[in-house]
């Protein structure tokens, strides 16, 4: 029999107790487990007091309000981390990051990058966002360098101004003042 899909979350700030986790009637917790104390979880990437399991994922607002951290084994987190790993892995290859400092490794059988076990989802997301910002800055710099010469820009601006200018007003038949 196939195990039902569950979404696991860690309580990193306090033990799981009344009022420390979301209790939605449509998505009640399947399992609640308090640890003996604060222990390392997720391949030693974070400390937690306990864990909760739900049938459906919690919202970002619920995670923030109750200070819960999602497990990297949740289906939605796996998809997000896989996408981020592709971005970060290519950047690490381009920058020739030493193996000891890499967050990903290349899996040649599938031709894709995989997140290393010791990397937390927050660390990977932070690095992926940094890579995206760096790529945006590079694109803006390249666009500035590829501008046309000033003479060409002035000709283009003059053409645009002429197209946007209102048509000339027709001349009115003014009365001849000499007849008065």
In tens, the pLDDT along 93-137 reads 999 999 999 999 998 988 999 999 889 899 999 999 999 999 999
Sheet strands (E) in 14-166: 29-41, 46-54, 68-70, 104-107, 112-115
Cut 0.75: pTM above it: no
53 in Cβ contact with 93 (< 8 Å): no
């Amino acid at each position: 029999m196939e195990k039902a899909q569950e979404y696991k979350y860690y309580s990193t700030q306090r033990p799981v107790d009344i009022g420390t986790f979301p209790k939605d009637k449509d998505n009640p917790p399947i399992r609640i487990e308090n640890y003996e104390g604060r222990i390392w979880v997720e391949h030693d990437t974070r400390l937690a007091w306990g864990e909760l399991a739900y049938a459906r994922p919690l919202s970002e607002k619920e995670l923030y309000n109750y200070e819960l951290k999602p497990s990297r084994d949740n289906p939605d987190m796996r998809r997000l981390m896989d996408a981020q790993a592709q971005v970060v892995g290519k950047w690490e290859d381009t920058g020739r990051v030493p193996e000891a400092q890499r967050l990903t490794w290349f899996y040649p059988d599938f031709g894709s990058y995989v997140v290393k076990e010791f990397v937390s989802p927050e660390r990977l997301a932070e690095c992926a966002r940094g890579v995206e910002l760096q790529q945006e800055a590079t694109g803006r710099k390249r666009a500035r360098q590829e501008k046309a010469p000033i003479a060409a820009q002035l000709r283009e601006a003059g053409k645009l101004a002429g197209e946007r200018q209102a048509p000339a007003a027709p001349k009115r038949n003014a009365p001849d003042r000499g007849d008065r």
